[in-house]
Amino acid sequence: MLDRLKASLQLDGMVVDTVLQVGDAIQGGSLAGEVQLTGGAADQTINRLELTLVSINSDSAFYQATLSLSEDPIEIKAREHKNLPFTMEIPSWFPSTYYGSFRGSLFTHVDIEFSFDSSDIDKVVVEPHPALAYLVDQMEKEVKLKRRVVEHEGRYQSFQYDQPEELEMKLASISIQYHGEGKLILEFKRPKVDEFALEESKFDYVIGTQEWKEKTGAIARFVKEKIDS
């Protein structure tokens, strides 16, 4: 299992392998694996060994979660083999790389005494929370809305939808902003009558971990009712 994703970094004779159990994770879940160290010809000291999970999209919005593998320097003898298992918790608000132009990477930062700080990069896919994935699916299949773009608002991922052409004068836009931990904000923007302005309506939801399919289905039905009203 651990051989599924493996990348090597060589520093002054030391070999640093970052090995992931799987290359896919989920919002609010974890990413597990181990960093495998093989000593070079002489004893060495690692001052810093750190993992950073990064999500970045095409307009350079940047998100990261960091895990330090040791608070103290790591001593490794010549030719010694040392494995450091890790489990990195992924914040529930961390952008899913499943949608839009978001891309995920895991950086292994290694700072060795009397050497330079170097990084190794592994591709990581962050899957959406099941409730978010189901809601996005319902918005497109049941409500018949076309997803225009997935972008960022602050540190949160936002899903923007085009309004149907026949409703252009009644509805300007619909968006869903996912805040993690089952929390989301649904926003409607409607043209104000006889005004060159938009009227905004926001609705807060907490889906939670129980009965999320029923709750997200109810949100999709609510959106359809708002569109039809």
Question: Consecutive sets of 10 residues in the chain, 229 residues long: mean pLDDT of each?
Answer: 41 78 86 90 86 78 81 89 93 84 83 56 82 86 78 78 63 79 80 60 75 81 78
Note the pLDDT of residue 33. Answer: 92
Give the pLDDT score at 6.
39
Q: Are 80 and 29 in contact, with CB atoms under 8 Å apart?
A: no
Indicate where the chain has its CATH 2.60.40.640 domain(s). 5-127
Question: Cα–Cα distance between 189 and 18 in angstroms, integer?
Answer: 46
Q: How far apart are CA 51 and CA 109, in angstroms?
A: 6
How far is Cα 163 from Cα 174, in angstroms, rounded to an integer? 7
The confidence score (pLDDT) of residue 5 equals: 40
pTM of this prediction exceeds 0.85: no
Q: Are 101 and 8 in contact (CB under 8 A)?
A: no
Task: Please tell me the distance from the alpha carbon of residue 47 to that of residue 205, in angstroms, as a whole number.
Answer: 45
Rounded CA-CA distance 166/175 in Å is 18
pLDDT for res 23: 74
Query: According to the model, what pLDDT value does residue 32 have?
Result: 93
Give the pLDDT of residue 85: 95
pLDDT of residue 84: 93
Q: What is the largest CA-CA distance in the chain?
A: 79
* Rounded Cα–Cα distance for residues 158 and 152 (Å): 5
CATH topology of domain 130-228: Aspartate Aminotransferase, domain 1 (3.90.1150)
Listed in order, strand segments (DSSP E) in the chain are: 5-11, 14-20, 24-26, 30-38, 44-56, 62-68, 74-76, 81-89, 103-112, 117-123, 125-127, 146-153, 156-162, 173-180, 183-191, 198-206
d(CA 229, CA 223): 10
Q: Where in the chain is the domain with CATH 3.90.1150?
A: 130-228
Which pLDDT value is given to residue 214?
Answer: 82
- Where does residue 3 rank: exposed (0-12), middle (13-18), buried (19+ CB within 10 A)? exposed
CATH of 5-127, one of 3.30.420.40, 1.10.3720.10, 2.40.50.180, 2.60.40.640: 2.60.40.640
Confidence (pLDDT) at 161: 79
